[in-house]
Structure 1
Amino acid sequence: MASAPQVAVGTPVAGQDEFRVLLVEDDDGDALLVEEGLRDADLHVGLLRARTLDEALERLDVDCVLLDLGLPDAFGFDALQRLLAAGAPAVVVLTGLAGGDVGLAAVAHGAQDYLVKGEADSETLGRSVRYAVQRRRLEESDRALYRSLVRAEENNRLERALLPTPMVHDPRLEVRVGYRAGRDGLLGGDFYDVVERHDGTVLALVGDVCGHGPDEAALGATLRTAWRTLVLADVAAEDILPLLERVLEAERSRPEVFTTVSMIEVAADRASADLYLAGHPVPLMLGERSRLAPATARGRALGIPVTGGWSPLRLELGDAWKIMMYTDGVLEATVRDSADRIGKEGLRRLVDAAVAHAAHDLVTEVLHGVHELHGGELVDDAALVVVGWGA
């Protein structure tokens, strides 16, 4: 169907925007009266005309719709409801019935205003169009604000579930955690936790659900909560990842979703730790020159349908040590405008520089360094956990 030409009516006023108005009216005489009223109003209008509702439904890219309730293909509030359901902007109903009952009912059905044909002068018509557009814009702003507040609250709830406060009672044990959201500000599927058991052993993990979005964040929160539950229930460390995989398989939205995990169990005497790797990057052993922990006991990611489990690798730690676990959002961040990624070597350099500076908060300084190298907000979210003793 060919588009009807837009007719400019009214005199442009400096500093005043043009309102695009769609008149849905099958009667030529009534349409002429509306056009003349808009021309005499203190309003600059680009006017389109539709004679039927079906025609109007194809032309809703306007600021306001003037809708006659008696059309050849729709009558009464059915026309209004169909128009609103199609995403119409501000709607002013034109009714031929005097009295406020029909008009008030139209407003109750979602119209911004109503006018009685033959009774509305140009000033009333112009004011109705202007106020209807403003009210509609305010409604949209209120809805956007409400959605933003709901989204922020949901994000806060997810953050509390994904990024908990470490539960460690030993004051001599250093525990640092940090997280930086990706570019859109939404939490992804990265999660971490650190818990000290009653026997003095300390378990820490960092995990990453593949993919991005609210489903992955919710799954990460579920897995993190399940992990802490298993730790507090004194489940043996070697049994935690198999049980966590069962939770993943029960809760994931799609069978191809998997999760990588790095987990350590620090002995009560702090002299050794068992490292479990489920498809996750190898932790860094911090010192004057940081080094990667051995990857000889790396197992598959959780949720991958292949054989093989997760065997621990014993790390002899000595009297003073620090271990840093991280998610791949740190490694995969590119270096400013290049295609080069920071990678493990770049991360090691950042960590060594922070250690050399005797940074008060190693995690914060490393995350800041990654941000600076990348030249802006990271595409992917990133989490860091440092556990140390005597250093």
Structure 2
Amino acid sequence: MTAPPNETLTLLLIEDDAGDAFLVEELLSQADNPPKIIWVRSLAESRVRLTEDVQCVLVDLSLPDASGLETLEEVLSMAPHAAVLVLTGLNDSHVGVEAVAAGAQDFLVKQDVEARLLARAIRYAMERKRADLAHRKLVEAELLTKENSRLERGLLPVPLLNTGLVEHQARYLPGRRRALLAGDFWDTVQSPDGAVHVVVGDVCGHGPDEAALGVALRIAWRTLVLAGHTGNELLRTLDSVLRLERKSAEIFTTLCTVTIDPALGHARMHVVGHPPPLLIRGDEVDVVRNTPSGPPLGIFQEVDWSEIEVPLGDDWSMLLYTDGLIEATVGGGPDLLGTEGLLDLVHEQGGSIHLDRLIERVIELNRDTLSDDLATVLISRTPSGGEQR
């Protein structure tokens, strides 16, 4: 029998027969690293002596205060992290098989026990227990991961668009590994008057707290839009939500929110410390100028953010994005893509943007997956209308 280096195994022996207990102690004393044995005569006494230090339990199923599998169930309940071996007699060896099926790691027939067999049985039982615990933790982790994924998936936005005159694309790539949500967020809502509202935002930071805050801000934005609020009134309320929900006073949020009129020919926007949107009108591709409208949310109080008026025309596309798109590197070096580089990529595509191809090209230039969160929305109007995606 072996134990981890510099560690002596602590074993609890539950046996009411003094002769059998003495035999077990003698056999284990021959081990290379003899265990510390705590001997008790009853289940009641074992409740007192069974501490977290006990790594293995040898239990006789015929005790003064319990018998059969009832004894085992009590021991398993009291020692969920210890390996349990059952001691049986020749006449009830079948009980040992039932005990293993009920949760014991192994069973020993008293008349067959000798030093090497006993030491090996204890060692194997402990390894099986470790494997059982590891498997249980893995199953619990997988269940938790699935539950978290379902929760995160349910918090992702679904655009509310009733018109067939616009084409809508959105892509969302959290920088955190195995995450579905991040501090970046987006949403698109068409209000009852026919106006189309779009937001893209970025909570500073990359952890789960920032992801939760991003969800809170997105839902608050959608609620405010559906309630008829826009402009500085909406932004001040979002600023209040941010200050109430954030974990630290240093956390701020940048965002760009756009309201496109029901005729789809004119836009009003606020660029709040955020990268300016890209606008394509016919053959013209450029960023929206005269931005930002003011500082990010959460920095200063009582701020008035200036509104930007943007004529759109009959044939246009607008790309809103977070800085994860333009802070990708070029050629794997220190140079960032930037808005000028993004404009070049759009020109490469002939002025027509498809988000998947655009993001693939950015990743190709970065020579690696994007480490920052990314949220993008592309909304377009063409004379023949479009398709929502």
TM-score normalised by structure 1 residue count? 0.75
Q: Give the secondary-structure state (helix, strand or coil) at the position aligned to 2:52.
A: helix
Give the Å deviation of 1:343: 2.2
In the TM superposition, 1:221-236 aligns within 5 A as 221-236=215-230
Measure, in 1, the Cα distance between the counterparts of 2:22 and 2:339.
74
2:321–2:375 CA contact under 8 A, matched in 1? yes
Partner of 2:257: 263
User: 1:202, CA displacement in angstroms?
Assistant: 0.7
What is residue 278 of structure 2 aligned with on the other side? 284
- Alignment of structure 1 residues 245-324 onto 2, 5 Å: 245-286=239-280, 288=283, 290-324=285-319
Unmatched segments (≥5 aa) in structure 1 = 1-6, 10-17, 38-46, 52-66, 85-90
Q: Work out the CA distance in 2 between the residues paired with 1:368 and 1:312.
A: 33
Q: Residues 207, 49 of structure 1: CA spacing in aligned structure 2 closer, same or farther, 3 A cutoff? A: farther
Query: Given the alignment of the two structures, is residue 370 of structure 1 paired with residue 365 of structure 2, yes or no?
Result: no
Query: Structure 1 residues 48, 222: CA separation in 2 closer, same or farther (over 3 Å shift)?
Result: farther
Distance across 2 between alignment mates of 1:96 and 1:149 = 36
Larger radius of gyration between Structure 1 and Structure 2: 2
Q: Which amino acid aligns with 1:378?
A: L
- 1:183–1:377 Cα contact (<8 Å) kept: no
Please give the secondary structure, in 1, of the residue aligned with 2:297: coil
Q: 5 Å matches for 1:150-165? A: 150-161=144-155, 163-165=156-158
Q: 1:108 aligns to what? A: 77
Partner of 1:57: none
Give the conservation status (yes or no) of the 8 Å contact 2:267–2:310. yes
Aligned to 1:13: none
- Does the Cα contact within 8 Å between 1:206 and 1:327 map onto a contact in 2? yes
Residues 1-391 of structure 1: pairs in structure 2 closer than 5 A: 22-24=8-10, 33-34=27-28, 36=30, 68=38, 76-77=46-47, 80-83=50-53, 91-94=55-58, 99=63, 104-109=73-78, 110=80, 111-114=82-85, 119=110, 120-121=113-114, 122-161=116-155, 163-186=156-179, 187-286=181-280, 288=283, 290-335=285-330, 337-355=332-350, 362-390=354-382
Q: 1:24 to 1:375 in 2, by over 3 A?
A: same
Q: Deviations over 1:211-259 (max 9, x none)?
A: 1222111111111111111111112334211111111122222222211
Unpaired segments of 5 or more residues in structure 2? Answer: 13-20, 88-107, 384-389
Higher mean alpha-carbon deviation, 341-350 vs 183-192, is at 341-350
Question: Which is further off, 263-272 or 101-110?
Answer: 101-110
SS of alignment partner, residue 133 of structure 1: helix
Contact map agreement 2:176 2:182 (CA 8 A) in 1: no
In the alignment, the residues of structure 2 paired with residue 19 and residue 182 of structure 1 have an alpha-carbon distance, to the nearest angstrom, of: 41
Q: Return the alpha-carbon distance in structure 1 between the equivalents of residues 280 and 182 of structure 2.
A: 27
Query: Residue 177 of structure 2: SS of its match in structure 1?
Result: coil
SS of residue paired to 1:331: coil
Instruction: Provide closer, same or farther for how the CA distance between residues 377 and 152 of structure 1 changes in structure 2, counting only shifts above 3 A.
Output: farther
User: Structure 1 counterpart of 2:279, which letter?
Assistant: M
Structure 2 distance, partners of 1:257, 1:192, is: 18
SS in 2 for 1:166: coil
Go from structure 1 to structure 2 and tell me whether the alpha carbon gap of 1:255 and 1:34 turns closer, same or farther (over 3 Å shift). Answer: same
Aligned counterparts of 1:78 and 1:335: Cα–Cα separation in 2: 66
Q: Secondary structure at the match of 1:339?
A: coil
Partner Cα distance (1:145, 1:331) in 2: 40
CA displacement 1:256-276 (0-9 Å, x = unmatched):
221111100111111110110
How far apart are 1:189 and its partner, in Å? 0.8
SS at match of 2:325: helix
* Deviation readout 1:4-24 (Å, 9 max, x if unpaired): xxx979xxxxxxxx9998423
TM-score by length of 2: 0.75
Opposite residue 172 of structure 2, the aligned amino acid is: Y
Identity over aligned pairs, percent: 30
Task: Tell me, in whole angstroms, the C-alpha distance in 2 between the residues paired with 1:195 and 1:127.
Answer: 66
Whole-angstrom CA distance in 2 between matches of 1:245 and 1:169:
29
Change beyond 3 A, Cα 1:334–1:183: farther
Change in CA separation of 1:242 and 1:115 when aligned onto 2, cut-off 3 Å = same
- Alpha-carbon distance in structure 2 between the residues aligned to 1:375 and 1:48: 55
- Count, aligned residues: 339
| Residue pair 2:11, 2:56 contacting (<8 A) in 1 also | no
The residue identity in structure 2 corresponding to 1:151 is: T
User: How far apart in 1 are the matches of 2:50 and 2:329?
Assistant: 52
Partners of 1:381 and 1:127 lie apart in 2 by: 52
Range with greater deviation from structure 2 (333-342 or 188-197) = 333-342
